[in-house]
């Protein structure tokens, strides 16, 4: 259950106002396009996504399954595999386009500048290798000249920073609990002090108590590093308690971006309104409300706005023209014909 008090973060963590200066942006994603090549044609999983991440900020990417949020996250790391293809766009990390780097340059940028905490720690850790050896592999790939003793000291410090004892280095993944494995993944992600940490549903398959512990750990290490975080998921309650801003994705596009406080108190896009409206509360005992209709096929998407077949506020214009993502008020971005003034 999510109450208003739980869904609104404290004033100290909320955005204080618009900031359009590039100097304050550690990451700038511009017109990112990713498709999956199939015998029936390309499936456009990410279709013109643009957003930025400020230094020290926490940004959430939310949406239904298949909305493109995980593909977006993996594309930032250049970790997508065939048949997926990055068709275009820019991913500027401190002004350096990650998509234009060579494979070797990108390999060195991973973990050192931008790191991923993957979904499902059990699947991301090698079951045949001890935890310490997996962390050593990460360091060897980036710090060739560092001694073994120095590496182990840094690994111990990283494990301790996420609340794990140094002797976890000698354990195999199957000897650890789900929460401990997820903390190992966090320790691996922060090992080289990256500027940006991408956490892809880091609490999936964990019980609620362990979820809270993992998110507290992630928040603490982020503050210690001064890093920025992109949190990918579909749990709106978790987003409300953790992030500063939220980007809502639908059908491979961003439909709304804004401060988490504003998104929950005054959602603008009809999809965001229905998403917020589907959350249970302690104040009312209404019937559970889902979003009517089905998610669109990305192989044969509907014309115009992707959401118009399910939208209760759809106009005739919505089935013809694709609404651009525009800033309609300071730090509030919406892709909807209700706000951009383009309807006839």
List the beta strands (DSSP E) in the chain: 25-38, 41-54, 58-62, 84-93, 96-97, 114-117, 196-200, 228-233, 245-250, 253-259, 326-329, 332-334
Which ranges constitute the DSSP H helices of 35-77? 69-76
Count of C-beta atoms within a 10 Å radius of residue 31: 12
How many whole angstroms separate alpha carbon 12 and alpha carbon 329?
A: 21
Which contacts qualify for 318-325: CB closer than 8 Å, 24 or more apart?
Answer: 325/50, 325/253, 325/254, 325/255, 325/257
Task: Sort 34 into a burial class: Cβ within 10 Å, 0-12 / 13-18 / 19+.
Answer: buried
State the Rg of the chain over Cα.
Answer: 21
Tell the residue number behind the tokens 């603008």, with chain if given.
268
How far the first Cα of the chain sits from its last, in Å, is 42
pLDDT in tens, the chain (344 residues): 333 333 333 333 333 333 444 458 999 999 999 999 999 999 999 999 999 999 999 999 999 888 999 999 999 999 999 999 999 999 999 999 999 999 999 999 999 999 999 887 667 899 999 999 999 988 887 776 677 788 899 999 999 999 999 999 999 999 999 899 999 999 999 999 999 999 999 988 788 888 899 999 999 999 999 999 999 998 888 999 999 999 999 999 999 999 999 999 999 999 999 999 887 776 666 666 778 888 899 999 999 999 999 999 999 999 999 999 999 999 999 999 999 765 54
Cα angle value 16/194/95 (rounded, 5°): 70
Provide the 3-class DSSP secondary structure of residue 174. Answer: helix
Q: Which residues contact 202 (CB under 8 A, 6 or more apart)?
A: 117, 119, 182, 185, 186, 214, 215, 218, 231
Buried b (16+ CB within 10 A) or exposed e, 240-269: bbbbbbbbbbbbbbbbbbbbbbbbbeebbb
Q: What is the pTM of this model?
A: 0.89
Domain 4-9+23-263, CATH number (from 3.90.230.10, 3.40.190.10, 3.40.50.300, 3.40.50.720): 3.40.50.300
Residue 290: per-residue pLDDT:
77
Residue 13: per-residue pLDDT:
37
Provide the 3-class DSSP secondary structure of residue 64. Answer: coil
Domain limits, the chain: 4-9+23-263
How many whole angstroms separate alpha carbon 130 and alpha carbon 227?
A: 28
Q: Are 234 and 64 in contact (CB under 8 A)?
A: yes
Residue 69: per-residue pLDDT:
95
Residue 341: per-residue pLDDT:
66
Count of C-beta atoms within a 10 Å radius of residue 273: 17
Residue 122: per-residue pLDDT:
66
């Amino acid at each position: 259950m999510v109450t208003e008090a739980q869904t609104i973060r404290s004033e100290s963590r909320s955005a204080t106002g618009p900031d359009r200066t590039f100097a304050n942006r550690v990451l700038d994603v511009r017109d990112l396009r990713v498709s999956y090549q199939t015998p029936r044609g390309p499936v456009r999983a990410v279709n013109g996504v643009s957003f930025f991440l400020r230094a020290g900020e926490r940004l959430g990417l939310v949406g239904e399954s298949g909305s493109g949020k995980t593909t977006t996250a993996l594309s930032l790391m250049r970790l997508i595999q065939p048949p997926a293809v990055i068709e275009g766009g820019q991913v500027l990390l401190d002004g350096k386009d990650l998509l234009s780097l060579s494979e070797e340059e990108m390999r060195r940028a991973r973990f050192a500048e931008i790191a991923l905490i993957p979904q499902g720690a059990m699947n991301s850790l090698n079951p045949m290798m001890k935890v310490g050896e997996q962390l050593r592999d990460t360091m060897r790939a980036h710090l060739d000249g560092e001694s073994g003793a120095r590496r182990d000291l840094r690994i111990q410090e990283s494990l301790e920073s996420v609340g794990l004892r140094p002797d976890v280095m000698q354990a195999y993944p199957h000897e650890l609990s789900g929460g401990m494995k997820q903390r190992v993944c966090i320790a691996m992600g922060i090992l080289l002090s990256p500027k940006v940490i991408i956490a892809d549903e880091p609490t999936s398959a964990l019980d609620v108590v362990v979820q809270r512990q993992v998110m507290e750990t992630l928040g603490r290490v982020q503050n210690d590093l001064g890093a920025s975080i992109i949190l990918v998921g579909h749990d709106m309650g978790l987003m409300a308690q953790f992030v500063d801003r939220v980007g809502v994705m639908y059908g491979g596009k961003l439909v709304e971006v804004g401060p988490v406080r504003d998104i929950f108190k005054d959602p603008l896009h009809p999809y965001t309104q229905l998403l917020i409206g589907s959350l249970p509360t302690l104040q009312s005992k209404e019937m559970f409300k889902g979003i009517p209709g089905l998610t669109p096929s990305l192989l044969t998407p509907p014309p115009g706005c992707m959401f118009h077949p399910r939208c209760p506020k759809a106009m005739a214009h919505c089935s013809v023209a694709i609404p651009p993502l525009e800033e309609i008020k300071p730090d509030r971005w919406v892709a909807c014909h209700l706000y951009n003034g383009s309807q006839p």
